[in-house]
C-alpha cells in the first residue's frame, strides 16, 4: 500500500513537460466512421487539456478513445481520434451522474484554474484564495491516505473516496486529522497557510485514480 501511495504521489508532483511516446489506435478507422469523429495531428506545444477545450470533449474521453494511459503520452505528429461533441456531452454527463459530486472545500476566489499554465507547469487543480487563514473542509467522505509535508506543496492531505476518486488539499498551515483515519464530507481538515506575501491560497485537486479531473465539473 505504501509503494502504491508513493507512486501516486510521484504522479501528483510530476509536471507535463516531457512528451515521450506516440500511439495511433488500431480501431481509429472504425471509430471515425461509426461515431462521426474527426482526426487531429498533435502539434508542438499541444496538451490534452488544450485539445479537449478546443473540441469540447473531456480529457478523460480523449485518453480512453485513443488508449492513452498518461496525459504525458503526446508527441508531435501523433494522430488523435476526436469524438463528436454529442458523444462527448453524453459521456461527460454520464460521468457526473455516476460519480456523484463534491462540495467546495473552502469559499474564496479562484486565482488559478484547472489547465492554466503557471511557470511552464500545467495546473492540475484549482488555486483558491481566501482572506486570512480559513478552515478547509473535506469535499466528501473518505479515508486519509496521506498527511505530510511535500516540497513545493507544503502540508498536504490526500483523501481516498469511493470509485477510485481522490481529493488533494495542499498548502495547509496545520491539519486536524491523522493518516489512516476517516472523515465525513464537511469535516474540518485544517487551515490554509499564508505565503511570503501574506496571501492564503489553497491548492485543491480531484483525481480519478491518478488522472486529474476538472474540479468545476464535480463541485456543487
Fold topology of 109-217: Glucose Permease (Domain IIA) (2.70.70)
Domain spanning 19-99: CATH 3.40.50.20: no
Containing 31, the helix (H) or strand (E) segment is: helix 28-35
Give pLDDT tens digits for 120-152: 778 889 999 998 778 999 999 999 999 998 888
| Contact by Cβ (8 Å): 62, 85 | no
Containing 98, the helix (H) or strand (E) segment is: helix 85-99
| Contact by Cβ (8 Å): 141, 184 | yes
Return the SS3 of 171. Answer: strand
pTM above 0.75, yes or no: no
Angstrom distance (rounded) from CA 156 to CA 166: 13
Domain ranges of the chain: 19-99, 109-217
Angstrom distance (rounded) from CA 23 to CA 21: 7
Whether the domain at 19-99 and the domain at 109-217 fall into the same CATH topology: no
Give pLDDT tens digits for 176-190: 898 999 999 999 999
- Please tell me the least confidently modeled range out of 24-33, 77-86, 112-121, 174-183: 24-33
Return the SS3 of 159. Answer: strand
Amino acid at each position: 500500500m505504501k509503494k502504491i501511495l508513493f507512486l501516486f504521489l510521484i504522479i501528483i508532483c510530476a509536471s507535463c513537460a516531457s512528451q515521450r511516446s506516440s500511439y495511433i489506435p488500431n480501431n481509429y478507422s472504425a471509430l471515425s466512421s461509426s461515431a462521426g469523429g474527426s482526426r487531429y495531428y498533435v502539434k508542438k506545444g499541444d496538451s490534452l487539456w488544450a485539445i479537449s477545450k478546443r473540441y469540447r470533449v473531456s480529457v478523460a474521453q480523449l485518453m480512453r478513445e485513443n488508449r492513452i494511459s498518461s496525459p504525458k503520452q503526446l508527441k508531435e505528429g501523433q494522430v488523435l481520434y476526436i469524438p463528436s461533441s454529442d458523444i462527448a456531452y453524453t459521456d461527460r454527463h454520464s460521468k457526473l451522474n455516476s460519480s456523484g459530486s463534491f462540495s467546495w472545500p473552502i469559499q474564496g476566489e479562484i486565482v488559478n484554474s484547472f489547465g492554466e499554465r503557471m511557470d511552464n507547469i500545467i495546473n492540475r487543480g484549482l488555486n483558491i484564495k481566501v482572506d486570512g487563514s480559513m478552515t478547509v473542509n473535506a469535499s466528501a467522505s473518505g479515508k486519509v491516505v496521506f498527511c505530510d509535508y511535500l516540497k513545493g506543496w507544503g502540508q498536504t492531505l490526500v483523501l481516498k473516496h469511493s470509485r477510485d476518486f481522490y481529493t488533494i488539499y495542499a498548502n495547509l498551515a496545520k491539519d486536524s486529522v491523522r493518516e489512516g483515519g476517516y472523515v465525513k464530507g464537511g469535516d474540518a481538515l485544517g487551515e490554509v497557510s499564508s505565503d511570503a506575501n501574506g496571501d492564503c491560497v489553497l491548492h485543491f485537486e480531484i483525481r480519478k485514480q491518478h488522472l486529474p479531473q476538472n474540479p468545476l465539473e464535480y463541485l456543487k
